[in-house]
């Protein structure tokens, strides 16, 4: 593909993780934002049932809990790590009392950088609170030089802030306007470049699942999409909530191969392979001794106990017993660390952790971008090392 395909889907709690992953793989999506994930989707993610499939197919998954509302929302993001080689995410406040947005900064192997906001606006049925949110995110998009805003803006009409439902799209370089589309602005992408808008799928029906069987994609034997509650709605102005997508330039280029002997600072054998390798790396960096990994595990567990609300990936553990079980396992077992634990470690020790593939030397950055306390961790297959 010459473009990178970015998708937003407000599932309204009706689609399982299994189906979303299958769509992602079958349709060659590169990045998807999932709004209003189902309870079952959260449980599927926590169980790790699809971890092997995602690992084998280069699919990475995470999510963040938005803040600023009485009812915080989780936004999942799933991306193709072969097509998006660097990714950085953060929460962005939009409007007092409203849900924050998810800010992603990504890079393709072709050297293209994009700054993207994924948001879910207040549902005000065209009232002032919806309009205020839309105007605020538009203003922030301009201030932050955002390339794309994609999500559910819950707008009411011909222009952002209008009370009458209509269809449309919006360019950050122009005044609000409409398009020839048939569905409302609820699922919208706002872009600097008009050319990128024409790739968007504006004319999807109310709920029309993609045929995932056509390429024989099998994640499990239980793949299904739950019935969308708006399908038979008599309200013609009821928003549809099927996926929308937009294509952005990718610029595929060949990579320069690294030759010669492996540098001693990038040695898989520098850290023991026992399931504790992530924590051994941090222990070596912080305390000068990788054998103090149990201390790191305990300190991270205590940090999570005091900061549950900041970590959407474990925030959905609804009761105290579930949360206690998570941190107890973190402290007492040799469970493998993932993206959640890397982010937690970065914040716990005020680190800027760069996680880099030892084969491609592409990677992602976690933690405080302004700190001078840098830690580079390499990974190969299921092993972290220094």
Q: Decide: 321 and 334 in contact? Cβ < 8 Å.
A: no
Residues 141 and 323: their CA atoms lie apart, in Å, by 36
pLDDT for residue 108 = 77
Residue whose C-alpha is closest to residue 10's, from 232, 182, 244: 244
The residue to which tokens 């700054």 are assigned: 115
Residues of the chain with confidence (pLDDT) below 50 = 125-126, 156-187, 193-240, 251-264, 312-318
pLDDT for residue 200 = 35
pLDDT for residue 294 = 95
pLDDT for residue 190 = 58
Q: Decide: 34 and 75 in contact? Cβ < 8 Å.
A: yes
Residues 268 and 206: their CA atoms lie apart, in Å, by 50
Residues 65 and 74: their CA atoms lie apart, in Å, by 4
pLDDT for residue 361 = 60
| Helix (H), strand (E) at residue 4 | strand 3-10
Residue whose C-alpha is closest to residue 21's, from 46, 41, 43, 1: 41
Name residues whose C-beta falls within 8 Å of residue 75's C-beta, 6 or more positions apart in sequence. 33, 34, 35, 63, 64, 66, 102, 118, 120, 312
pLDDT for residue 280 = 95
Q: Which domains does the chain have, with CATH numbers?
A: 3-249 (3.60.10), 268-385 (3.90.70.80)
C-alpha dist (Å) from residue 176 to 63, 167, 193: 30, 12, 14
Q: Decide: 295 and 282 in contact? Cβ < 8 Å.
A: no
Query: Model confidence over 122-157: pLDDT tens digits?
Result: 665 445 566 677 778 777 877 777 777 777 776 544
pLDDT for residue 288 = 93
Q: Decide: 224 and 16 in contact? Cβ < 8 Å.
A: yes
Residues 117 and 104: their CA atoms lie apart, in Å, by 6
- Alpha-carbon torsion angle 108, 113, 117, 118, nearest 10: -10
Residues 132 and 136: their CA atoms lie apart, in Å, by 6
The residue to which tokens 């998009």 are assigned: 141
Residue count (the chain):
386
Q: What is the DSSP string of 304-361?
A: HHH-GGG-HHHHT--SHHHHHHHHHHHHHS-PPP-HHHHHHHHHHTT-EEEEEETTT-
Q: What share of the chain is helix, strand, coil (3-state, %, to 5)?
A: 30, 25, 45
How many CB atoms neighbour CB 29 within 10 A? 23
């Amino acid at each position: 593909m010459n473009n990178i395909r970015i998708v937003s889907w407000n599932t309204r709690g009706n689609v399982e993780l299994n189906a979303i992953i299958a769509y992602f793989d079958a349709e060659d999506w590169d990045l998807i934002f999932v709004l209003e994930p189902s309870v079952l989707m959260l449980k599927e993610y926590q169980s790790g049932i699809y971890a092997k499939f995602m690992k084998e197919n280069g699919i990475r998954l995470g999510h963040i809990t938005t803040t600023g509302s009485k009812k915080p929302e989780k936004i999942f993001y799933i991306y193709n790590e072969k097509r998006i080689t660097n990714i950085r995410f953060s929460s962005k406040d939009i409007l007092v009392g409203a849900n924050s947005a998810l800010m992603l900064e990504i890079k393709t192997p072709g050297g293209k950088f994009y700054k993207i906001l994924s948001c879910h606006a207040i549902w005000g049925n065209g009232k002032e609170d919806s309009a205020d949110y839309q105007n605020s995110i538009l203003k922030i998009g301009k201030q932050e030089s955002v390339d794309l805003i994609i999500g559910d803006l819950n707008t009411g009409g011909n222009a952002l802030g209008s009370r009458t439902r209509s269809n449309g799209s919006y360019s950050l370089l122009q005044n609000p306007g409409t398009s020839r589309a048939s569905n409302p602005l609820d699922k919208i992408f706002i872009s600097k470049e008009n050319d990128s808008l024409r790739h968007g799928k504006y004319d999807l029906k109310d709920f029309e699942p993609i045929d995932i069987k056509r390429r024989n994609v099998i994640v499990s034997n239980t793949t299904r999409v739950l019935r969308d509650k708006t399908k038979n709605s008599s309200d013609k102005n009821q928003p549809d909530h099927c996926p929308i997508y937009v294509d952005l330039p990718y610029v595929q280029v060949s990579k320069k191969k690294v030759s010669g002997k492996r540098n001693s600072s990038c040695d898989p054998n520098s850290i023991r392979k026992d399931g504790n390798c992530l924590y051994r790396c941090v222990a070596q960096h912080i305390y000068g001794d990788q054998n103090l990994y149990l201390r790191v595990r305990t300190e991270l567990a205590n940090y999570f106990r005091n900061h549950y609300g900041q970590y959407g990936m474990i925030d959905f553990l609804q009761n105290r017993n579930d949360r206690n079980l998570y941190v107890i396992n973190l402290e007492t077992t040799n469970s493998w660390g993932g993206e959640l634990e890397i982010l937690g470690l970065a914040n716990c020790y005020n680190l800027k952790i760069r996680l880099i593939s030892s084969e491609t030397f592409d990677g992602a950055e976690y933690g405080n971008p302004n700190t001078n306390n840098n830690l580079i961790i390499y990974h190969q297959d299921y092993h972290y090392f220094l």
